Amino acid sequence: MNRIWAVELAQTGVRFLSVDPGEMDTEMHAAAVPEADRGELAQPVRVARWIGRLVAHGVESGSRIVVPGEAR
């Protein structure tokens, strides 16, 4: 869907980016998976900063990005 919208709306200036941050250390995750080691989970602030840098550097619209371990 992400790539389809990127192609269909390419001339409008709207960009699409799909990000898979992996499992993150959030209250919702803790409630859903209480046995998870929270120290092993991605930190939302670090992932958000990484996504911001991607967007600022002009990632191609329609891209699907999996957040690497070092960005977590």
Question: Contact 36/25 with Cβ under 8 angstroms?
Answer: no
Note the pLDDT of residue 70.
67
Range of the domain at 50: 2-71
Tally the domains of the chain. 1
The answer to whether the predicted template modeling score (pTM) of the entire model surpasses 0.75 is: no
Helix (H) or strand (E) holding 56: helix 44-56
Find all residues with CB under 8 Å of 33, minimum gap 6, and list them: 23
pLDDT in tens, the chain (72 residues): 999 999 999 999 898 989 898 899 999 999 999 999 998 999 999 999 988 988 888 888 999 988 877 666
